[in-house]
Amino acid sequence: MKPSVGDKLFYAINYAVLSAVGLLCLLPMVHIAALSLSEAHAVQAGLVAFWPVSWSLEAYTSLIAGTDIVRAFQNNVVLTTVGTGLSMIFTVLAAYPLSRRDMHGRRLLTLAIVFTMLFSGGIIPNYLLIKSLGLINSYGAIWFPALVSVFNMLVLKTYFESLPVEMEEAAQIDGCGEWRMLSRIVLPLSLPVLTAIALFYAVGFWNQFMTVLLYMHDTTKYNLTVLVQMMVQNQSFLQELNNLQPEDAAKLAPATIKSAGVIVLLMPMLVIYPFLQKYFIKGVLVGAIKG
């Protein structure tokens, strides 16, 4: 069917609006990257817009040599890898039984779990609970409360319910138990939605901020998000971290080091996402539609 003039106008307006929104999201990131790759005199003079002026990696070398950013990056990797793995295991173990049509009381259990999306204890009760469990100053304080996201669990449960019943019945006739059905049949067929949910969890753990500030009293356990925020908000903290002599500090603009820290924080997720995009889009769609 040939598109009408109205359809063409509608598509043109959509493309224009979406392109404008995309540029609004992209340009600040390009500007930050340009600042981090420019020399101090160009940044201080306000000459840097969306392209580096007098290319320089001095900000990154100073950031790595003079700050705890390497350790913070390692903390981020541990926090994200272990947290995502644990959350995926417990989300699958919660979603699969609730998706089984022969499970008694699954509707009541689902409603009870959904109830936690609407009401929570709050920051102070959560802190007292974490403290009573002895998890203060350990990453368990971040991992355990986030073991299961109700939203992710419901998406995964909906996808499990959309799998053909005949396939499960055939597997049961062949003597397949629940654990084997989950590991050999259900999970391989659920790769797109599992990848999407894993990405949700990974981004969440990578960007943890408030929980790290609340529960981590040891600064050596700070992650990149907290470290970069301190660098951006506190100029004296930035100077202390870099241990710069006055003559060396003059060679570096604070904006370049801050921008380099932001790029280091954002780059891993930006690199990983394109490889998972096809699974991400398919997983969100098939996991959000029943039937």
- Spell out the domain ranges in the chain: 57-288
CATH classification number, 57-288, choose in 1.10.3720.10, 3.40.630.30, 3.40.1210.10, 3.10.310.10: 1.10.3720.10
Closest CA to 280 of 183, 185, 202, 187: 202
Average pLDDT, the chain: 80
| pLDDT given for residue 240 in this prediction | 55
pLDDT at 279: 65
Say what the pLDDT of residue 112 is: 87
pLDDT in tens, 230-269: 777 765 555 555 555 454 454 566 777 778 788 888 888 8
For the residues 52-76, what does the mean pLDDT come to?
80
Supply 70's token pair: 């390497």
Q: What value does the mean pLDDT take over residues 183-198?
A: 85
pLDDT score of 87: 94
Please, are residues 213 and 54 in contact by the beta-carbon 8 Å criterion? no
- Integer-rounded Cα radius of gyration of the chain: 24
- DSSP string computed for 127-157: HHHHHHTT-TTSTHHHHGGGS--HHHHHHHH
Residue 78's pLDDT is 92
Q: Which amino acid is at 18?
A: L
Q: How many CA within 13 A on the CB side of residue 178?
A: 9
Q: What is the DSSP string of 76-127?
A: HHHHHHHHHHHHHHHHHHHHHHHH-TT-TTHHHHHHHHHHHHH----HHHHH
Percent of the chain with pLDDT over 70: 87
Residue 284 binned pLDDT confidence (cut-offs 50, 70, 90): low
Give the angle 219-206-89 at the CA atoms, nearest 5°. Answer: 115
Q: Are 66 and 244 in contact (CB under 8 A)?
A: yes
Does the pLDDT at position 88 exceed 90?
yes
**Pick from 190, 3, 234, 232: which is nearest to 88 by CA?**
190
Instruction: Indicate if the pLDDT at residue 76 is higher than 50.
Output: yes
* CA–CA gap between residue 283 and residue 278 (Å, rounded): 8
Asked if 220 and 226 touch (Cβ cutoff 8 Å), the reply is: no
Do 257 and 217 meet the contact criterion of CB atoms below 8 Å apart? no
For the ranges 84-88, 151-155, 197-201, 285-289, the one whose mean pLDDT is highest: 84-88
